[in-house]
Chain A
């Protein structure tokens, strides 16, 4: 995984509550056996007509948001299924940061495995950034994970909380499996105890 660097980019507003994983990446695109190439189908049914033509009103189809790197969205973003295709599609499109008041647990977790930073903020901070995002390409937002700070176009700073271990893994681009395998002895020892105490497992 690539190391997470400071993001200075356009923020796209998506003021919808409960954006679910079926919206983010509809099921017909889950048939792939690869992780890559899903960005073109991100928000497919909101972004394209049935015939495949762009729907001009949808935020990511507007010229000023086509290269958005930050998404500002309504409450409970990413609810629904566990499909990691959702963060794969978001990352493949080029979005690196999602800002909302709340995220569904599984989606939130999946973001960190794919170099995406989900940021939880208060309603008033999200409202402020949503207003900034509405201003389009004239309003770039800067997200600094190291400092845990967001700077808006008018210079105001918003700080955010993040789990220190997750922050460390994102900044260093660490591979979870590799980290866990360093604890091989502990796992083996746990398995031995368990096999004697609960032999039916």
Chain B
């Protein structure tokens, strides 16, 4: 589904991501962990075509994000760490905006909006301007917008930040549902317990370099993910 080969991104002299390679298969929830400034957000932004990179290649379903960005973007959805949405729109207007861009027919989008908005309990707020939403509500809206076109690959940067426990539980269910239907999830998190319980595979990144990746068992063995992460960080 997603192949990252030797991804390198530099900001001036500083190398934010250094020759990173990852393969994310269909049906997988792939966690991406690392300290602050490790290069997680840079990688995620490069994957969804927001950030140009210096070296390497990223392909989504066999198509290059560099040369075939639009085709790639049709298959993915991205939720950033800080959901800065259009404050001047109402929630429903924003969802219709995204649905129009993806060309989702009216009846299908209505069903999906209804399903997810009800699940997150924000249906009654959809007519209000986004400017009046709390951080958690914006995050919920960003999640619904990401799910509205049933993407094959969902890229999320710290998706659980700001969500209440119920919403976080619902999101975990939605993530698993996407993978059960043949999709894939690639997300970053600092919450190691969540990564440990939810992910099929994980990658640990430090100072732009991949230091360990594989299935949860391969990475942590009998230890806790927290212990492994701290040990690797100390090295």
Q: Do A and B come from one complex?
A: no
